[in-house]
Every structure is written in structure tokens, then in C-alpha cells.
Amino acid sequence: MTEKFEALLLTKTETGQAVAWTELSDADLMPGDVTVRVTHSTVNYKDGLAITGKAPVVRRWPMVPGIDFAGVVETSSHPDFTPGDEVVLNGWGTGETHLGGYAQLSRVKGDWLVPLPAELSRADAMAIGTAGYTAMLCVLALEAHGVTPDKGPVLVTGASGGVGSVAAALLSKLGFTVHASTGRPEEEAYLKSLGASEIVARQELSAPGKPLGRERWAGAVDSVGSHTLANVLAQTKYGGTVAACGLAQGLDLPASVAPFILRGVTLAGIDSVMAPKAKRLEAWARLAQDLDRAKLAALTTTHSWKDAVTLAEDILAGKVRGRVVLEVA
């Protein structure tokens, strides 16, 4: 028997793309060995780009956007999952080349799924989402390169966004002194509530800078790129590490080799989309253990999934603070 379900569908047009809520059937689902009843999703910066068409995120048409979802397994031929299991999906091309999370049903490869940690609800999982999971991958990279609280403060750029907010909360919980960079001075109280001890104005880092600057930070989590990342590298302490995971300012990196060859700085690239399952399991286990649930709630707002289109515009305009949970009807 064919099952109908609702989804947000992006279609290609002569002038760009169209966005509409529509009814699909399970026959429209893509190949996979697990079918999930989606209960929650979220809005990431990449979702905003996909829905608005402001960057070529979507590479298969038509497309259901949404790079994240949490839900309950309905059917499975994968050995790791059975009906009733609660699961999380981040990335793997969902919302880009594979129908994504803004739908009531999704069929995916079981190897893409992570079991929901017992300590987290499905809403918690989407409050974390790809942004928070990426923040945890950044923290793991800093730890792997020997960045510890006694080495000095850690900078978080784009701190009032999703990655930045979760990174600040995680680093604070782990005992680090957190410096938060933002272009929104009105968010100072919010960022300090997450554990930041010092606020760095965005303009200090966003303009062209020198190859080397004063050593300020033992490490950093950067979701901005471009001149900001170049300036962060130039001001990272000897032997420090910068985890780079975003491009809000730009794809370019107008930097020199000076921080690398004169201070032994490491630039650690963080990819969340294709990260292997072992790394995902480690990240989600650490999120369940190390993320303060009260801070997660404080940085999260909850909306109906029908608000996704409006929120996509808002997140690109810098109007979204922290994380957004979408409740799927």
C-alpha cells in the first residue's frame, strides 16, 4: 500500500528555483535500507543556502532540503537497526544529492545513521544538529592536537551562530577559558551565559591583517573563514591549533605560511558531511556526556517545520541566534 507524506520540495525553474510544500509517496523515496519517520529537523546555514538558492548546495532536482533529521525507524533491512529505534542523521549529502530531512519520511542507508544516545531526546539531537556535531568535531580536533585548558584561552568565531554557540558551551564545560568573537555586541550577555569570559569584536578580525600578530589564543574554532581565519592563525600561540569548519565570511584564505613555519601552528580542517561513522559515534557520545543540557536549552528556539522557509532567510541574514529545532508534524 502506497503511503503519502508531506515534504518541502525544491524544483528547478528557468529563472532559478521554486519552493513549495507538497505531497509525496513512499515511491518517491530514494534507495536505502532504512526508512525513518522524521519527527524533528533543524535549520543550518547550509539549509538556508539551499532553500534560498543563494549557493549551489542542491545538486539533484527536485530536492527535499534539510541536512539533518531525528526520528524513529519504521522499516529496516540493515543489521544495526530495527523498527522503533531512535536515530539521528547528519550530512551524507542529504538535502544536497539525497532527499533530506524536511519530510515526514526518509529512506537512507543505515550506515549513515547514528543511534540516538540514551541521554538525549530527538529534540535535543536537533538542537545540536550538524552545527553542534561539527562543534564537537572541532573540540575533538583541538584535544587531539594537545590543546588543553592550561595552554591558554580558546577563541570561537561566529560565536552567536549555531556552531559557535555549541562550541562555546562545550569548551566552557571542559574547563577552557573561552573568548567569543561576534559582530553582534547585543549578544554579549547571551555568550557569557554560555561560558565566554571575553567578547572579541568581529571587526578586530575581519579586515586584512598582518602575517603574524600578538600571540593570543592556544586554539580556536573558526566557522567564518577568509580574513577572519587568517587573522586567527596569525594570533594563535606557538604550537596552537585552529579547527576550521565554515565559510561565513568567504571561501578564501588570504594568509601567509608564517604562523605554520614560525610558530608551529596547526590548521585542522573539519568536515562533518562525510566524517566516518566511528568519528560520528565518538562525537555524539561526547555531546551526550559533555554538553550542558541547560545551556543547550538556553541557546535553542523551537518552531514548526512550516517556518523553515522564513528561517532560511533569517539565518543567512544573521538573525538566528544559537540553534533552531523544527518539529515535524
pTM: 0.94
Q: Decide: residue 130, CB within 10 A, 0-12 exposed, 13-18 middle, 19+ buried.
A: buried
**268-296: pLDDT as tens digits:** 999 999 999 999 999 999 999 999 999 99
Q: Decide: residue 53, CB within 10 A, 0-12 exposed, 13-18 middle, 19+ buried.
A: middle
**151-181: pLDDT as tens digits:** 999 999 999 999 999 999 999 999 999 999 9
CA 279 vs. chain centroid, Å, equals: 15
DSSP states of 241-269: EEEE---SSBS-----SHHHHHS--EEEE
Contacts for 171 with CB less than 8 Å, ≥ 6 apart:
139, 154, 156, 178, 195, 221
DSSP state of 62: S
Please state, in angstroms and rounded to a whole number, the distance separating the CA atoms of residues 322 and 295.
10
DSSP state of 200: E
Average pLDDT, the chain: 96
Q: Which residue has cell 580558546? A: 154
Residue 114 has pLDDT above 80, yes or no: yes
Please state, in angstroms and rounded to a whole number, the distance separating the CA atoms of residues 45 and 147.
28
pLDDT > 90: what percent of the chain? 97
pLDDT > 70: what percent of the chain? 100
Contacts for 94 with CB less than 8 Å, ≥ 6 apart:
66, 67, 68, 69, 100, 101, 106, 108, 112
- Mean pLDDT across 86-114: 97
DSSP state of 27: G
Band of pLDDT at residue 2, cut at 50, 70 and 90: confident
Q: Which ranges in 162-276 belong to alpha helices (H)?
A: 162-173, 188-194, 203-206, 226-234, 258-262
Provide the pLDDT for residue 1: 65
Provide the pLDDT for residue 318: 87
- Mean pLDDT across 221-243: 98
- Mean pLDDT across 254-279: 97
Band of pLDDT at residue 329, cut at 50, 70 and 90: confident
φ, ψ at 183 (rounded to 5°): -95, 5
Query: What is the C-alpha end-to-end distance of the chain, expressed in Å?
Result: 22
φ, ψ at 133 (rounded to 5°): -65, -40
Provide the pLDDT for residue 37: 98
Query: For the chain, which domains are there?
Result: 4-116+299-327 (3.90.180.10), 131-269 (3.40.50.720)
Which one, of 238, 278, 246, lies nearest residue 164 by Cα? 246
Q: Find the angle CA(204)-CA(206)-CA(211) to the nearest 5 degrees.
A: 85
CB atoms inside a 10 Å sphere around CB 219: 32
Does 318 or 281 have the greater pLDDT score? 281
Cα distances from 220 to residues 55, 68, 328, in angstroms, run: 26, 25, 35
Provide the pLDDT for residue 8: 98
**36-93: pLDDT as tens digits:** 999 999 999 999 999 999 989 999 999 999 999 999 999 999 999 999 999 999 999 9
Q: If DSSP codes are grouped into helix, strand and coil, which group holds residue 294? A: helix
Range in 123-127, 243-247, 315-319 with the lowest mean pLDDT = 315-319
